Amino acid sequence: MELSIVVLVLSFVVLLFLNVPIAISIGISTLLTMLFTIDFTPAVMTLAQRMAGGINSFALLAIPFFILSGILMGQGGIAHRLIEFAKVFFGMLPGGLAFVNVISCTLFGAISGSAVAATSAVGGFMVPAMTKEGYDRGFSGAVTVTASTTGLLIPPSNVLIVYSLASGGVSIAALFIAGYIPGLLLMAGLMAVCGIWAKMKGYPVGDRIPFREAVRKTIDAIPSLLLIIIVIGGIVAGFFTATEASVIAVLYALALSVFIYREVKVNQLPQILVKSVETTAIVMLLIGTSTAMSWVMSYENIPQTISDALIALSDNPYIILLTINLILLIVGIFMDMTPAVLIFTPIFLPVVTELGMSPLHFGIMIVLNLCIGLCTPPVGSVLFVGCGIAKTTISKMFKPLLPLYAAMFVVLLLVTYVPAFSEALPRLFGLYE
């Protein structure tokens, strides 16, 4: 078994350093590990079967629809309206544009379910606006990058659906509701840093928006904000499942973008569909290969070995949870969120449940933890998109990123050690398992 672990880890790391796409790296390292205990033909057949089984899930049907709705929203003028809505309440405060950036990224990320989409859509408007008002591009980009991850906690979130699959069936509705308080805590933590940074740098205060204009901008944003109420309200009330909600999200986003805001033309729809199919294919390949790797690790008894080692490390649950968080933070630096959730959930879930942590609570913890990885080099996809949008470099973003990382880590510790932040709302709505 020790040799299998070495082969799995070493081959995966080497392939990553050779810049092999992560899904292919996972698949090849999984096959190489299988070959130590299984002949070639059965190993290939087993790999194919496990990959096919990994994506053969009704719950995963929600992912392509949420991806499509997110792309429609990104091109449908929703980001601009959410930014104008946030300016009504926060634009006149010291560092107000930074607050507007955080809130807009949170709202758009929650509606679209994509951190990359939030970075692109909101950053495309906010970074030039902040630069024009005298904000540093590095700070503007750093705020956009970190704030965009909050939407992965506030539903609808594809990664929470993936966690439901990896954990063996934690309720998607419960996970969706559980993400609200941690997501809002993360937003508040980032806003606190923005306020302190803006005060230190003497960034300007925006003008107060006249009442009539404020009302108009609020009314203009209401159709966009209603999507959250329709999708999440319908799931909680039991009118439809998360998968059915994803289809409703597509229909609503289509009506909003094409017929109400009229920023997406009918002749653009084929291109949008192709883009959503390409993104879905990448995500499903990641899910398939990651599921196969999880099976190999289970076959080689790797999760149990790691679980025993962690429990033997200390009898203090706080130390063990801190250790798990530190491991996941390191993992997040080098691995994308979807495969990390699929691979490490089966490893750490038995450990935390033995400590008394619920699978629901752990799901929010692991997603919040890996959100930090999206903002860190060398693999952080959101970080590189943010650099491109802000037209700056990682080195110029690094200094303002440090206090934002610190805020995210503090929120992570709060969510880890205070179960009520994750479990209070599911209990309130009768969804707690």
Whole-angstrom CA distances from 175 to 161, 193, 362 are 8, 27, 10
Whole-angstrom CA distances from 358 to 152, 208, 349 are 20, 46, 9
| Strand, helix or coil for residue 94 | strand
DSSP structural state of residue 320: H
Q: What is the pLDDT along the chain (433 residues), one digit of tens a residue?
A: 567 778 888 888 898 888 888 889 889 999 998 888 788 899 899 999 999 988 888 878 888 888 888 888 878 777 778 878 888 887 777 778 888 889 888 888 777 777 777 787 788 888 888 888 888 888 999 999 999 898 889 887 888 989 998 888 888 889 989 999 999 999 999 999 998 988 888 877 767 788 888 888 888 888 888 887 888 788 877 788 878 888 898 898 899 888 888 888 989 999 999 988 988 888 888 889 888 888 888 887 777 777 777 778 788 889 999 999 999 998 888 788 888 898 899 889 988 998 899 999 999 999 999 999 888 876 677 888 888 888 888 888 888 999 999 999 999 999 999 999 999 999 988 877 5
Q: Count the neighbouring beta carbons within 10 Å of the beta carbon of residue 331.
A: 18
- pLDDT tens digits for range 378-402: 667 788 888 888 888 888 888 899 9
Q: Count the neighbouring beta carbons within 10 Å of the beta carbon of residue 343.
A: 20
- pLDDT tens digits for range 111-163: 777 777 778 778 888 888 888 888 888 899 999 999 989 888 988 788 898 99
Quick one: which of 343, 369, 263 has its CA closest to 9?
Answer: 343
Q: Is 128 exposed, middle or buried (0-12, 13-18, 19+ CB in 10 A)?
A: middle
**Partners of 94 in the beta sheet?**
205
Please state the pTM of the whole predicted model.
0.88
